[in-house]
């Protein structure tokens, strides 16, 4: 299986101690977001985990312990944008802190295993297309030689982030503006020797030089693990999403980054409430079992193809 850690929260930044406890114990508990008393027990041993995909805005807290991941294959989706504190409230300074962290991580594990995400792209009076192009170019130049790929997306509006987006004067650019913007972004990426793809975009940007991307990417994972995988598209994601099937171990309403565009947090208050229950030694992330919970062991297995095909010869 592919382990997603996590689309729902920033595990490397805030919960890396918990994660390292879990791989040491070899299992994790995950609540069903739609049925909170339904808890899955999921084995996460190297025998069944083909690859771990980390999603983060700051992997620094876990970087001194990467040797503990030696039995596993993994890569990072590292979000690095041009927004200030009024958008990404608790993310450290990009130029002084996060770009050097990105570079350090790339040097430790290799540029193939650190994907740069410049997303979501939000247009406001301050964050104009021109602003984004300038910020993107500065970051791309700094990351030249530290990553092979960049992923972009335009912000999606959900019930959970609509109010916050309205408060920062978000506006939706028309298709022509987005297409012209995408062409400029693609040129900058190419100049810095980066492939560029879009994340779950309904608009086709292929004419701009931007392919539909798979963030949990079978081709990339095959290259990392050196083996073919017998796994299909993730049916639990949006139609536009090209990701392969994965097992998510994060918990909603626990991310402390405080990003205004976040769809995974209901409110600041919900995060504060859940974080109070954080115990790095608990099988549950920011939670405790109660008498109404029903634990079911989820059947998981490796997706590796053991038999060679003509494509492997």
Which pLDDT score is estimated for 307?
54
Query: How many Å apart are CA 152 and CA 208, to the nearest integer?
Result: 13
Contacts of 239 (CB under 8 A, 6+ apart): none
Q: What pTM did the predictor assign? A: 0.94
Query: How many Å apart are CA 123 and CA 181, to the nearest integer?
Result: 11
Cα four-point dihedral sign 288, 41, 239, 72: positive
Which pLDDT score is estimated for 235?
79
What's the average pLDDT block by block, 10 residues per block, for the chain (313 residues)? 96 98 98 94 98 98 97 98 96 97 98 97 96 98 98 87 89 93 97 92 86 89 93 77 90 96 92 96 95 96 73 48
- DSSP annotation of 151 reads E
CA distances from 32 to 11, 129, 243 (A): 18, 39, 20
Query: How many Å apart are CA 194 and CA 188, to the nearest integer?
Result: 9
């Amino acid at each position: 299986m592919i382990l997603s850690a996590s689309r729902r929260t920033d595990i490397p930044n805030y919960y890396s101690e918990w994660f390292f406890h879990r791989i040491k114990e070899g299992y994790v508990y995950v609540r069903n977001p739609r049925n909170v008393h339904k808890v899955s027990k999921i084995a996460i041993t190297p025998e069944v985990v083909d690859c771990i995909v980390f999603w983060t805005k700051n992997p620094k807290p876990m970087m001194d312990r990467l040797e503990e991941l030696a039995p596993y294959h993994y890569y990072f989706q590292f979000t690095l944008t041009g927004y200030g504190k009024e958008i990404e409230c608790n993310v450290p300074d990009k130029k002084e802190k996060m770009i050097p962290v990105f570079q350090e991580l790339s040097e430790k594990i290799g540029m193939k295993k650190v994907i740069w995400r410049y997303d979501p792209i939000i247009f406001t009076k301050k964050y104009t297309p021109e602003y984004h192009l300038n910020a993107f170019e500065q970051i791309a130049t700094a990351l030249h030689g530290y990553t092979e790929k960049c992923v972009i997306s335009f912000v999606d509006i959900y019930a959970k982030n609509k109010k916050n987006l309205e408060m920062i004067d978000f506006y939706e650019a028309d298709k022509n503006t987005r297409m012209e913007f995408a062409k400029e972004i693609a040129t900058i990426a190419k100049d810095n020797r980066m492939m560029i793809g879009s994340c779950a975009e309904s608009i086709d940007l292929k004419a701009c030089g931007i392919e539909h991307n798979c963030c949990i990417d079978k081709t990339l994972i095959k290259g990392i693990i050196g083996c073919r995988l017998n796994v299909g598209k993730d049916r639990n994601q949006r139609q536009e999403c090209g990701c392969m099937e994965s097992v998510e171990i994060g918990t909603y309403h626990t991310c402390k980054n405080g990003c205004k565009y976040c769809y995974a947090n209901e409110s600041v208050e919900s995060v504060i409430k859940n974080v109070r229950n954080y115990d790095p030694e608990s099988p549950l992330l920011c939670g405790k079992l109660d008498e109404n919970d029903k634990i079911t062991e989820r059947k998981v297995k490796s997706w590796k193809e053991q038999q060679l095909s003509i494509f492997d010869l």
